Amino acid sequence: MVNIRPFASADEEAIVALWEESGLTRPWNDPLKDVQRKTKTQPEMFLVAEADHGAVVGSAVVGYDGHRGWIYYLAVAKSHRATGLGKSLVQRAESMLAALDCPKVQLQVRPENTQVIAFYEGLGYSTYEAINLGKRLEDDEKAMS
């Protein structure tokens, strides 16, 4: 049995390890800082999947900005993939967002991770054209060095 619950501070190390194992970390995002940032904004929407033996085996960082809902850092430990856990995490994220009257949930897939698109399509997601622009307000790489 796997239980999906909100993040707790004791999960910090395990979450970073899960994101690393899942190939979700990048040099420009300090994962520990990303964990801590989420504990300050809608922390109840930071989902952690915990296995029977207490191990952290999944995550989803969910948020609603008043216009769109977003899912980041969706990850399932290799040991627990293809058991329906990824689907459960997305569905839990969607029900939390729907409860806030969020009209649409969006997510970004890195260009090198296109194989995951079929997973999302199976859950009713479809791609849409948009050009992403971003500007850093805090430089994690500088902060780490």
Ligand X SMILES: CC(C)(COP(=O)(O)OP(=O)(O)OC[C@H]1O[C@@H](n2cnc3c(N)ncnc32)[C@H](O)[C@@H]1OP(=O)(O)O)[C@@H](O)C(=O)NCCC(=O)NCCS
Out of 2, 15, 24, 105, point to the residue binding ligand X (CB under 6 A). Answer: 24
Asked if 114 and 130 count as a contact pair (C-beta separation under 8 A), the reply is: no
> How many residues does this entry show for the chain?
145
For residue 46, with 0-12 CB atoms within 10 Å meaning exposed, 13-18 middle and 19 or more buried, which class applies?
A: buried
Out of 82, 130, 131, 143, point to the residue binding ligand X (CB under 6 A). Answer: 82
Query: For ligand X, which stretch binds (CB under 6 A), given 6-14, 40-48, 75-83, 128-136?
Result: 75-83
Cα torsion 11, 16, 20, 26 to 10°: value is 150
* Binding flags for ligand X, 35-74, as an x/- string (CB under 6 A): ---------------------------------------x
Nearer to ligand X, 116 or 139 (CB): 116
- Helix ranges restricted to H, 8-132: 12-21, 31-38, 85-99, 117-122
- 109 lies in the binding site for ligand X (CB under 6 A): yes
How many Cβ atoms from other residues are within 10 Å of residue 72's Cβ?
Answer: 17
Query: For ligand X, which stretch binds (CB under 6 A), given 38-46, 92-100, 113-121, 129-137?
Result: 113-121
- 29 lies in the binding site for ligand X (CB under 6 A): no
- 22 lies in the binding site for ligand X (CB under 6 A): yes
Asked if 138 and 36 count as a contact pair (C-beta separation under 8 A), the reply is: no
Please report, as ranges, the residues that interact with ligand X according to CB under 6 A: 22-24, 74-76, 81-87, 107, 109, 113, 115-116, 118-119, 122
